[in-house]
Structure 1
Amino acid sequence: MYQNPILYADYSDPDVIRVGEDYYMVASSFTYLPGVPLLHSRDLVHWEIINYCVSSLPFEKYDRPSHGSGTWAPSIRYHEGTFYVFVPLPDEGIFVATSKDPYGEFKLHCLQEAVGWIDPCPFWDEDGKAYMVFAYANSRSGIKHRLDLVEMDVTCTKLLGDPVTIFDGEQLGPTTEGPKMYQYQGYYYILMPSGGVAVGWQSVLRSKSLKGPYEYRIIMHQGNTDINGPHQGGWVTSVDGRHWFVHFQDVHELGRIIHLQPMCFNNGWPFIGTEQNGDGIGEPVREWRLPAEGQPEYEIAQSDAFEGDRLGLQWQWQANPQEFFYSMKGHAGLRLFCLSNKTRENYLWYAPNALTQIPQHRAFSVTAKVRLQGKELGDMASIGMIGHQYAYLGIQKTEEGHALTLYTGDVTVNTFEGEANETLNVSCPYKGDTVYLKFEVFENKTYRFAWSEDGIRYTSIGGANPLRRATWTGAKLCLWSANKNNWLSEGYGEYEFIYIEDRSNC
């Protein structure tokens, strides 16, 4: 048996395919880059990160944080030997990343410049023609309940004609989005969430013709379970012919976590989950039989000793990656340089060089051994949590010598670069240049910092901090070095290791 959620981690807007006996899943990344993580599994339950589909975004805007923008809900398909990942940028258009090798480099090109087009999914019909179904972002276009279909060339480089509306859900399916198109036993199906992220449901459209008209039905909802949503995902058929549906659940502070549901067909209609309350609509399951036994039990990497000369795949920057952010060559550990911010205050919310990671547990602890090689006053090396309220603890070079400093931030405008206020809450003298920094996230959705000289005896610092989500993502843990005076500096923080421990149910 397996337990839901299969990943207590913010891999939002998942889509999944099977190629042979291997499963591949993609997810949203927004302002965090490299973007659109590509995950691999052999049983749909245990996953590993193997690549990113977007190394960086070709717009100067993304050289700085652009919260809530960037890579939205992607889709993945495999067609004639090529992996196609459709990536919507709600402010720039629909992009396509392609590769012959899921472990190799993905090349990104623009399919269509547009504002407000989101959630695209490609489909190759039996006659050889190719199409894209997509939705609209209400925040950009004023539309949130319409699905359009447009023909494109078979290699997904240009559109052929104008989009046509195939579903208007203003009454039936408000906030219809995330469409995924399939063909099965003579029908075209479009699976889609409706009703919104937190309280919506799963719907399906069905037609004998690609262009409709389509029938509509609700096929999974929260019902009498505690799994709210349940929201956007993808359908995949396993090697043995069984059907499965991967989707997310919004748990707010830590984002949108991943569930796996059994799926079957009843009189030509998909049915997801199990019937639990007699209303004829499926509800999500908490546990079910494994799709495949005896397969590798992959895990997502978390802790890191920073060996080798490149970052692990668990890490993303808060903007386009730059080589001058860090170094791992010719020395032990990870060096994050104490950069200034050329455009505004040097706050964490504005920092492109904040190195982030998606938490993998509902409660956890993070410990890092940090050495500050400060060159200028204000140089700081820190660890923390990024969200609409955030905090970070670091070792900082001050006029009196080194100090342990704890900052908190409050985001007042949470889109694009936004606006934030920061406060220095605690500053206490510290004799050395090396310190163990720690924080623990609790199940009551707070977290608290501590420090140690020897890595054994820890002293708490500051009070409880409220865990808050970021824009369209869960809160993320981070490592950040900066000059808090916003001066140019050649200083850096050296991170010997980071150790992350699951503290759920402790």
Structure 2
Amino acid sequence: MRGARLAAAAMLVAAGAAPAQVWRSDQGDGTFRNPVLFADYPDPDVIRVGEVYYFVSTTFANVPGVTILESRDLVNWTIVSHLAERLEGRPQYDLIGGNAYRKGLYASSLRYHAGTFYLATTPVGQKTRLYYAKDVRGPWQHHELDREAFDPGLFIEPDGRAYLATASTADGTITLLTLDRDLARVTDSRKIHYIKGAEGSKILRRGDYYYLFNALPPRMALTVSRSRSLFGPWTTRDQIDDRTGGHQGALVDLPDGRWFGFVMEDSGAVGRMTNFSPVFWQDDWPVWGTPEAPGRVPFRAKKPIPGYPFAEPATSDDFSQARLGLQWQWNHNPDPARWSLTERPGWLRLRPTLADRFWSARNTLTQKGQGPASRAEIKLDIRALATGNRCGFGTLGQFSANLTATRGADGRAALEMEVTEDTVEGPRTQTRATATLPRAGALWLRTDLDFTSDLGRLAYSLDGRRWTDLGGDFPLAFAWRTGTFQGPQFAIFCYGTGTSNGWVDVDRFTLSPLPPARPQAIR
């Protein structure tokens, strides 16, 4: 099914202005292709407020945490905000005493009731938090519950009664927590259902029935259960799986009474992507797809709501604004004293943070790798690079491949190509190639990601036109036991060992489409 999700290179030059993303879901002819965003947007939850849709996605140890996107048609999405400006409760979030990769903020649940947005999320190993805000852009406040509810699924009745459904794959027992009116305290807890391997619960109501959706990671499948009471008894049916569309998600209603589904699919090296699907009903059971092709998420379908223009999350950036764009996230909590957009207007200045390796360095600035194949370039001014500084560009992931600019005691600058693989025993770094740089100040660095071949490549230039590859191909991969639990991310960094002198200035980041190495993998 993965091949069916890697769609045609023709999307690279769809009608209109040059895309910021590499992939265009909206085909401009009243149809769209899955995935709606060809990047790692896992653990989706989607709601409608009036005629606007909101989509929340997991961010793990990235900061700001929990990405919130907005759309008018369920196809064209832009990032509208993030939930948390920093992560709290562990020194590892500041990369002190270790790291928090594969921790942080996981699957969240978003709801809206009586003029207020509510978002339930559980930082790994910590107690569940119920955030609330009048505006989805914030500011957000939160209550902390007295327990850890894994992958909490928030549900609010029209009269304000609120509940959290929670289940863990290790058990499969689905527990319903009753909340007080302020969504600040658990007042009751009942085991309402059991599905072997269940997690990622989501609840909605349609007519006389409540519907409970659960992911089954051991089978990469999605189930739906229905009952006339939140407390059961429930009848369960299989829905779809990663061969037919995905394994974690639910439904969202349209203003005219139709329903659409959203579901996460493990999609290889790029990570976990979200697909959207029409849904129809048979005997009060939801069926993914269309009556002509039931039981699967279509590769291409009619847009659910026509008439809205193309829109997408930003990517390229000239760093001319007073704040970082919403497409950017830091790897763990940043040190605000070590970066600036104002010291040199129009440039991002990164001062080195203290670290012995890239994997444990603060203030690495990231954004999602884009598929099916993409090319990102940055322009650096390295004149202020000091001895001991290690600054550059590349990727962060299970395999982190980077071009790192250094300066020797003789004042000469050099470039190293390193690949760090995170293993169960810890990160392992290999220096593959080096190059001596002339005494010029400008340096261009390039990172290519091709998810049709699962290979990347790095290159550098001294004039922005003529490029030299360095270090050869490196692998692109995704795994949940090692790496960051995310697909490869573009990464701009500056760290040092034993020194805080020097800095590097970043003039711009530019993303563009890359012809895929294996067009036969796309259709």
Q: Under a length normalisation based on structure 2, what TM-score does the superposition of the two structures give?
A: 0.87
In structure 2, C-alpha distance between the alignment counterparts of 1:102 and 1:125, rounded to whole Å: 20
Aligned residue identity for 1:495: V
Q: Within the alignment, does 1:441 sit opposite 2:449 as a pair?
A: yes
CA contact (8 A) 1:132 1:150 kept: yes
In structure 2, C-alpha distance between the alignment counterparts of 1:183 and 1:298, rounded to whole Å: 30
Q: Within the alignment, does 1:361 sit opposite 2:357 as a pair?
A: no
3-state SS of paired residue (1:179):
strand
Q: 2:92 aligns to what?
A: 61
Which of 451, 454, 474 is matched with 2:460 structurally? 451
Q: 2:336 aligns to what?
A: 323
3-state SS of paired residue (1:462):
coil
* Superposed counterparts of 1:156-195, under 5 Å: 156-161=183-188, 163-170=189-196, 175-195=197-217
Cα displacement (A) at 1:183: 1.3
CA contact (8 A) 1:34 1:321 kept: no
1:222–1:409 distance in 2 versus 1, CA, 3 Å? closer
1:424–1:166 distance in 2 versus 1, CA, 3 Å? same
Aligned residue identity for 1:338: P
Q: 2:230 aligns to what?
A: 210
Q: 1:294 aligns to what?
A: 307
In structure 2, C-alpha distance between the alignment counterparts of 1:294 and 1:468, rounded to whole Å: 38
Q: Within the alignment, does 1:151 sit opposite 2:151 as a pair?
A: no
Q: 1:242 aligns to what?
A: 258
Q: 1:428 aligns to what?
A: 435
Cα displacement (A) at 1:128: 4.0
Q: Within the alignment, does 1:339 sit opposite 2:353 as a pair?
A: yes
Residue by residue, what CA displacement relative to the aligned partner does 1:142-164 show, whole Å, maximum 9, x if unpaired? x2422110111122111113x22
Aligned residue identity for 2:387: L
In structure 2, C-alpha distance between the alignment counterparts of 1:375 and 1:389, rounded to whole Å: 26
Q: 1:385 aligns to what?
A: 395
3-state SS of paired residue (1:44):
coil
Cα displacement (A) at 1:275: 6.2
Which of 95, 108, 111 is matched with 1:74 structurally? 108
1:48–1:87 distance in 2 versus 1, CA, 3 Å? same
Cα displacement (A) at 1:63: 1.3
Q: Within the alignment, does 1:201 sit opposite 2:221 as a pair?
A: yes
CA contact (8 A) 1:42 1:296 kept: no
3-state SS of paired residue (1:271):
strand
Cα displacement (A) at 1:439: 1.8
Q: 1:256 aligns to what?
A: 272
Cα displacement (A) at 1:503: 1.8
RMSD: 1.8
Aligned residue identity for 1:393: L
3-state SS of paired residue (1:463):
coil
Q: Within the alignment, does 1:370 sit opposite 2:384 as a pair?
A: no
CA contact (8 A) 2:393 2:445 kept: yes
In structure 1, C-alpha distance between the alignment counterparts of 2:257 and 2:174, rounded to whole Å: 29
Aligned length: 475
Q: 2:26 aligns to what?
A: none
Q: Within the alignment, does 1:503 sit opposite 2:517 as a pair?
A: no
In structure 1, C-alpha distance between the alignment counterparts of 2:291 and 2:357, rounded to whole Å: 50
Cα displacement (A) at 1:268: 1.2
In structure 1, C-alpha distance between the alignment counterparts of 2:375 and 2:454, rounded to whole Å: 13
In structure 2, C-alpha distance between the alignment counterparts of 1:97 and 1:391, rounded to whole Å: 36
3-state SS of paired residue (1:302):
coil
Residue by residue, what CA displacement relative to the aligned partner does 1:325-373 show, whole Å, maximum 9, x if unpaired? 31001413101111112xxxx2222223211111232210111101124
Moved more, 245-254 or 375-384: 375-384
Aligned residue identity for 1:106: W
1:497–1:222 distance in 2 versus 1, CA, 3 Å? closer
Structure 1 runs (4+) greater than 3 angstroms displaced:
274-277, 373-376
In structure 2, C-alpha distance between the alignment counterparts of 1:397 and 1:195, rounded to whole Å: 47
Residue by residue, what CA displacement relative to the aligned partner does 1:194-238 show, whole Å, maximum 9, x if unpaired? 243xx5222111111110011111122356x5x4xx121231111
Using the aligned pairs only, state the percent identity.
31
Q: Within the alignment, does 1:11 sit opposite 2:41 as a pair?
A: yes
Cα displacement (A) at 1:505: 4.2
Q: 1:125 aligns to what?
A: 157
3-state SS of paired residue (1:93):
coil
Which of 471, 474, 478 is matched with 1:462 structurally? 471
Residue by residue, what CA displacement relative to the aligned partner does 1:234-254 show, whole Å, maximum 9, x if unpaired? 311112221001111111211
List alignment gaps of at least 5 residues for structure 2: 1-30, 518-523
Q: 1:271 aligns to what?
A: 287
In structure 2, C-alpha distance between the alignment counterparts of 1:47 and 1:222, rounded to whole Å: 23
CA contact (8 A) 1:374 1:380 kept: no
Cα displacement (A) at 1:56: 1.3
3-state SS of paired residue (1:253):
helix
CA contact (8 A) 2:328 2:367 kept: yes
